[in-house]
Amino acid sequence: MDDKTKPENHIYKELLEKSHILFLVLDRDGIIQSANSYAKQELGKQITGTSFETVLLDFHNTFDLLSIEENTELVRPLNLKRNNGLPQTYQFRFKFAGPVIYAVGELDNEDLEIVRKEMLSLNEDLNNLTRELHKKNGQLEMLNQEKNQFLGMAAHDLRKPIGLILSYSDFLIDEATACLDKEQIGFLHTIQKSCSFMKRLVDDFLDVSAIEAGKFDLELTWVHLSDVLEQSLRLTLLQANRKGQNLSIKADPGLPRLQIDPSKIEQVITNLISNAIEHSHERTKINIRLTIDADSVLFSVQDHGPGIPPGEMSKLFKPFGKTSTPKTGGEKTTGLGMLIARKIIEAHNGKINVKSIPGQGATFFFTLPVTGKGA
């Protein structure tokens, strides 16, 4: 029986190819002549013919292959670059046999056990942190609900007295100006403007608290967007007239009816037109357009104000988002109007956005999808 057919040679070959050890055959120059399957899997299939140093991470340049021949019994920990890009330490033994060198590398079981225990410990810590995070999230959600409830109650209770003050100040301005001097009339206008801002702030807080509480329900019905626009203009025409502004309104003929919540879409349109009025100078024109394409209706408002700096565009539709662009009449803003408008339009499966060139004004617009047989 020759050496090739001996049973121990078959066993040796089976172990060599299927065991998880690195087995390399090097020549005296350190060139890899052959490698077992595991070595190719870990270090790359193309390692044959390359230098052992190409897979070795020797940061201090202390490894000298030929000097190992003096002490082949010593086990050497070497760091190798694995095929997955991560380094790994192997315990290497080298055997010199004439023109070739056999290199055998294996993982340190003690190191593996230490790593395994560390991973188990870290996994346990992660599970504990995850449980704690779920607990904190639950507490935060409860606090957020209480906050929304408090804001809703406070805003609701403030709405009535603010409305009364606003109504009485309007009445005094309209009916009692003949009995008052210029300074007293100025006081009334200050009260009126402050109450108007407070009412808008209260309304916005109520809307935001309803949105965050998940109580933002839509009452959908089939209406023409032009009818909703007409209702909104009754509220904004007076505001524009005070600044001598011209609202230019154009609508495409044959606009279809849309299934929307009229009061909420009216709120968005009023907000956008009012915003254009507040950012436009006196005696300027504001363009309002209603157009249609294949599957949506587009509403746009173009003002001729100072425009919005490019770096501040992303702030507009976020909570309390304000830009550095001042309102031409010194009007105040809550920073919530655009957020509410975005929530309303998105709830209708629409989109809202803005285009602006600094010094040339801004155009706010939204689209609403045409659905069903609402024509």
Mean pLDDT of 204-221: 76
pLDDT of 85: 83
What whole-number distance in Å separates Cα of residue 201 and Cα of residue 217?
21
Given a cut of 80, whether residue 375 has pLDDT beyond it is: no
Domain ranges of the chain: 3-107, 113-212, 221-369
What whole-number distance in Å separates Cα of residue 245 and Cα of residue 314?
28
3-107 is classed in which CATH architecture? 2-Layer Sandwich (3.30)
pLDDT of 226: 93
Residue 274's CB is within 10 A of a number of other CB atoms, namely 19
CATH fold of 113-212, please? Helix Hairpins (1.10.287)
Tens-digit pLDDT profile for residues 267-287: 899 989 998 998 888 899 999
DSSP letters, 64-118, are -TGGGGG-TT--EEEEEE-TTS-EEEEEEEEEEETTEEEEEEE--HHHHHHHHHH
pLDDT of 279: 87
pLDDT of 328: 57
pLDDT of 108: 76
Tens-digit pLDDT profile for residues 80-106: 998 888 888 899 999 999 899 999 998
Whole-model pTM: value is 0.55
Given a cut of 90, whether residue 223 has pLDDT beyond it is: yes
Among 146-150, 172-176, 358-362, the range of highest mean pLDDT:
358-362
Mean pLDDT of 233-238: 86
pLDDT of 367: 95
Tens-digit pLDDT profile for residues 106-117: 887 776 677 778
Mean pLDDT of 139-153: 76
pLDDT of 104: 92
Q: Which CATH superfamily is domain 221-369 in?
A: Histidine kinase-like ATPase, C-terminal domain (3.30.565.10)
pLDDT of 308: 87
Summary mean pLDDT of the chain: 84
Query: What backbone phi and psi angles, to 5 degrees, belong to 373?
Result: -110, 55
Q: What Rg value do the Cα atoms of the chain yield, rounded? A: 38
pLDDT of 373: 52
Nearby residues of 128 by Cβ (< 8 Å), 6 or more positions away: none
Q: How confident is the model at residue 1 (pLDDT cuts 50, 70, 90)?
A: very low
* Alpha carbon distances (Å) from 256 to 132, 186, 199, 371, 373: 53, 47, 34, 10, 9
pLDDT of 59: 79
| Eight-class DSSP state of 27 | E
**DSSP strands (E only) in the chain:** 22-27, 32-35, 76-81, 87-97, 100-106, 221-224, 246-251, 257-260, 285-292, 296-302, 351-356, 362-369
SS3 at position 288:
strand
Tens-digit pLDDT profile for residues 174-187: 888 788 888 888 88
Residue that wins the pLDDT comparison between 27 and 200: 27
